[in-house]
A and B are shown apart, each in its own frame.
Chain A
């Protein structure tokens, strides 16, 4: 797996996007729905999105421009920590990821439903 979204092959990887940006339509839909259900919306933000999250698979990236090691230009780097580890965390926690909007997660427990939308390092849930 590599960390440049555009160079990925379709269907090879689980993660397609690398900065999870919610569409504003999604956020407004969430607000409209929460209103009608009488739910409150809460907000969390990650202090350092880049450093969070544990990786379970091997991910390689090219050497970033300006940080290329002389004489070893052909080598790639292996990520030790996830750049954005939230996605994997949510799916491990029993959230279902929306098929049409990759930043929307849904978890149901009995009669309760938790909706969650992610915008890079900010997230809202209701």
Chain B
């Protein structure tokens, strides 16, 4: 059926047969007998080059623990468009790196008027990525996969308006396939 489909497609349209899925939308896909691994190493490297952070010193976490960020702080303002571009790139990176989802979502709230402090947060995420370029999502095939969902929220984590941030993640077997981190729209 698979072969038949491919041959039909090739006949009807002008197509390139790329064989096994290995590089799709800048996601590196490695298909093995025991599962599939997806990562974006090249994308991270390009990102580090773009923000002139290539070869920077790595850190072990994407955010400083318990640091609270505010919309307005004493630090001087910085270039907003650079920050927007960074947030956009990081959002795309969450495809294979759900663990930077919270940090990215946090950073995205300060896109309007980023200060030096916010810029530092962005840089820290990049430094974290520097040390974890090879990370990705490993979909391992297991006997009886179950669909599992997790969700949590952070009890009024935002200093500016007391709104909470909630997140969710769904996995089938071991690999996560759908997740998000989002500030709630109303005050709970």
Contact = CB atoms under 8 A, between A and B. Distances in A.
Interface in B102-142: 137, 139-142
B17 interface: yes
Contacts, number: 107
A122 B27 CA distance: 13
Interface residues of A, number: 35
- The dominant DSSP class at the B interface is strand
Given A31-B139, A33-B172, A43-B22, A114 B13 contact: no
A39 to B, nearest CB: 9
A120 B114 CA distance: 34
- The dominant DSSP class at the A interface is mixed
Contacts of A38: 141
Contacts of A44: 6, 9-10, 15-18
B15 A125 contact: no
Contacts of B14: 46-48, 52
Interface size class of B (residues with CB under 8 A): 35 or more
Interface string B16-45: 111111101101010100011010000000
A38 B2 CA distance: 14
Interface stretch (A6-14, A20-28, A58-66): A20-28
Given A44-B6, A122-B24, A35 B173 contact: yes
Contacts of A27: 24-25, 27
Interface of A: 24-25, 27-29, 31-36, 38, 40-48, 52-53, 85-86, 89, 93, 107, 109, 112, 114, 119, 122, 124-125
Interface of B: 1-2, 5-6, 8-10, 12-22, 24-25, 27, 29, 31, 35-36, 38, 95, 137, 139-142, 145, 171-173, 175-178
Given A29-B177, A41-B36, 11 more contacts: A28-B177, A31-B29, A32-B177, A35-B140, A35-B173, A36-B142, A41-B20, A42-B2, A42-B21, A44-B6, A47-B16
